[in-house]
Structure 1
Amino acid sequence: MTSSVRRKEHLAGAAPTTTPLLELQQLETSFPTPRGLVRAVDGISLKVHAGECVGIVGESGSGKSVLVRTVMNLLPPTAVLGAQSRVLLDGEDLASLSPQRRKHLWGPELAMVFQDPMTSLNPVRRVGDQIADPQRFHLGRSRKEARESAVELLTQVGISEPQRRLDQYPHELSGGMRQRVMIAIALACEPRVLIADEPTTALDVTVQRQILELLRGLQRDRGMAMVLITHDLGVVAGHTDRVAVMYAGRLVESAPTRVLFGEMGHRYTEALFRSTPRVEQPTHSRLEVIAGRPPDLVALPAGCRFAPRCTHAVERCATDLPQLEPQAHEHLLACHNPVARKAS
């Protein structure tokens, strides 16, 4: 079944399949250093269904970007993958694909919006060519067809005067417009899975909201699966269906978005939430901070990796690494002393 047929079924209200479109199984990514092996991603398992937006949240250094770059096979040659690690697309292991299949995987099947469009876009090529080239390579479209499609894509992502923008260079556009161009490039070949890695970095608040709403709207309209990477719980609150929280290379909590915000259980998730600015706070209120520093990924503690920073750690937290355990309402939690549930 082609991806376009799948999208039509999704938009027509077809019953969602139980098979995830994208599945990560025991994903492990490490980097050798003179001090030892840095375990940036350590045993992550995650499922993303068609038409679903999953947010991955965590501090800088928690492994979010390495996780999605592992999925996209954008790692440096020195990276070491776990023997049991699997990335499945529609049940098919991407590592088993032939070189010819893999050549046409990134674009029509998987696409990514990067953090910084200024360093991701080619500075010496016109915007129109950068949107059209993937279509000509992967979809076999003519130069004219690809250019017409580029105009349509720029219109869809909210860029004014799209015909004129095709002949401009990235440095001639504002930061928000460059990010919209990046989104247009990512959508050019109608991918089934879109990964957005901190897509609003360095943008002002108004443009951030516009970009997030644009991504969410396009994801729904096209029936794509989307993975949204961010350090901000406020971003995932209104733009995702499920949230997975990462800390020191591992998932510590995962739940449908409404469940997570109503019944967050991990002390780290709670700390992230408390450190998020809120509208109801008085002007110039001092933000809460998470005390301490993330652990050294070369010399990880034996127990819970958040325990040295946790004000509610118990004796067991220092010795036993908690595993993700199912809770009510599709909630997974890895915490020995979780936040007390609210009385229903």
Structure 2
Amino acid sequence: MSGNALLEVRDLTTRFDTPKGSVCAVNGVSFALERGAALGIVGESGSGKSVLVRTIMNLLPENASVSTESRVFYDGCDVATMAPEEKQHLWGPRISMIFQDPMTALNPVRKIGAQIADPQRYHLHRTKRQAWDNAADLLAQVGISDPRRRLDQYPHELSGGMRQRVMIAIAIGCEPDLLIADEPTTALDVTVQRQILDLLTEIQRDRDMGLLLITHDLGVVAQHTDHVAVMYAGSFVESAPTGTLFRNMGHRYTSALLRSTPHAGAVPHTRLHSIAGRPPDLVNPPSGCRFAPRCEHTVRDCRVPPAYLSVGDAHRLACHNPNTTQVPRDEGIVR
């Protein structure tokens, strides 16, 4: 394990028992995230991104099971071996999460102030006055005007962008070392999306936090992460430092995702590229490469699952017929 790793995941495998059979939603995923670094995990809906982070956070339903060989290390400690009391003080003050939909994540019958202050009172043993004062400061930090008044409001009284900022305030209230953001800008307009993502990046750098950013948008990770992992059908198919990935996308799925992303320099009314077909049925996945049924560049070897191998400095790839053409630089996407 890397000595600098804040979070390390080894061979994480998560299954769900369903009426149709066992679904392997996360299949042998491994990665490490250093303190102060930002990792983006990208993929279509259903690729396993949210299940991955919910497994890390131990937020799985009863029909889910995690392989006994899977390991999650936080700051060098195996989370599975921690006592229940230790885990209680891991989630929140050490590792915190911003959920995808703030309207369902926030308690609709409790005031904003209480939802920000209560975790601080429990984990940091602050008085009610100290916690509420800090809650007002946090709302100001995340860009909410008139924070004292907002403390006495309920979630339904705020806009979508403001609710997402409240979620960020709750997540950073106990000063965690690691922040997990699961699709933090879903359903927000483009302007608010940019504000929220810029805010997350600013907070992460100011506090030297690790950031795990989950998204389906390559344009988001291009501007806000140091390293990118591309996920498809439960597995990582490519990972690399952000600049390396965008200069040399090896996996056909990665380049297809980029072509599906709107570009700032595109001609108006240009039709967006779409990836043909659908993600595989994970109850009965393809026997070879799981992307092969949708890929335009299959070869005979694609009937065998590709190994996830190193192809360069910190660049890993699982593809029998990788793309060898460098991706043109586009200022709307690539840094």
For normalisation by structure 1, the TM-score amounts to 0.93
Query: Which deviations, in whole Å up to 9, do the C-alpha atoms of 1:161-218 show, x marking residues without a partner?
Result: 0111000100110000000000000001011110000000000000000000000000
Q: 2:129 aligns with which of 144, 153, 160?
A: 144
Q: 1:326 aligns with which of 298, 310, 315?
A: 310
Q: 2:119 aligns with which of 130, 134, 158?
A: 134
Q: 1:235 aligns with which of 216, 220, 226?
A: 220
Deviation at 1:36, TM superposition (A): 1.1
Confirm or deny that 1:208 pairs with 2:190. no
Q: 1:91 aligns with which of 63, 71, 76?
A: 76
Give unmatched runs, 5+ long, in structure 1: 1-16
Distance in 2 (CA, whole Å) between partners of 1:323 and 1:246 is 14
The 5 A counterparts of 1:54-203 are 54-203=39-188
The one-letter code matched in structure 2 to 1:322 is: P
The one-letter code matched in structure 1 to 2:270 is: S
Q: 2:299 aligns with which of 314, 339, 342?
A: 314
Query: Which deviations, in whole Å up to 9, do the C-alpha atoms of 1:260-306 show, x marking residues without a partner?
Result: 00011000000000110111112111100000110000001111100
> 1:297: which partner in 2?
282
Q: Percent identity of the aligned residues?
A: 63
SS at match of 1:168: coil
The one-letter code matched in structure 2 to 1:125 is: R
Deviation at 1:48, TM superposition (A): 0.4
Distance in 1 (CA, whole Å) between partners of 2:105 and 2:280 is 30
Corresponding residue pairs, total: 326
The one-letter code matched in structure 1 to 2:216 is: H
Deviation at 1:342, TM superposition (A): 4.0
Deviation at 1:104, TM superposition (A): 1.0
Distance in 2 (CA, whole Å) between partners of 1:34 and 1:172 is 40
Distance in 1 (CA, whole Å) between partners of 2:80 and 2:175 is 22
Check conservation: 2:37, 2:226, Cα contact below 8 A: yes
Deviation at 1:149, TM superposition (A): 0.6
> 1:35: which partner in 2?
20
Check conservation: 2:25, 2:282, Cα contact below 8 A: yes
SS at match of 1:21: strand
Deviation at 1:18, TM superposition (A): 3.7
Distance in 2 (CA, whole Å) between partners of 1:51 and 1:327 is 26
Give unmatched runs, 5+ long, in structure 2: 328-335
SS at match of 1:196: strand
The one-letter code matched in structure 2 to 1:164 is: R
SS at match of 2:296: coil
Deviation at 1:323, TM superposition (A): 1.7
Distance in 2 (CA, whole Å) between partners of 1:40 and 1:88 is 21
Distance in 2 (CA, whole Å) between partners of 1:304 and 1:83 is 25
The one-letter code matched in structure 2 to 1:214 is: L
SS at match of 2:132: helix
The 5 A counterparts of 1:13-24 are 18-24=3-9
> 2:229: which partner in 1?
244
Distance in 1 (CA, whole Å) between partners of 2:42 and 2:49 is 7
The one-letter code matched in structure 1 to 2:47 is: S
Root-mean-square deviation (CA), in Å? 1.0
> 1:5: which partner in 2?
none
> 2:273: which partner in 1?
288
> 2:262: which partner in 1?
277
Moved more, 214-223 or 325-334: 325-334
Check conservation: 2:4, 2:35, Cα contact below 8 A: no
The one-letter code matched in structure 1 to 2:24 is: R
Distance in 2 (CA, whole Å) between partners of 1:308 and 1:174 is 42
> 1:6: which partner in 2?
none
Distance in 1 (CA, whole Å) between partners of 2:41 and 2:61 is 22
SS at match of 2:274: coil
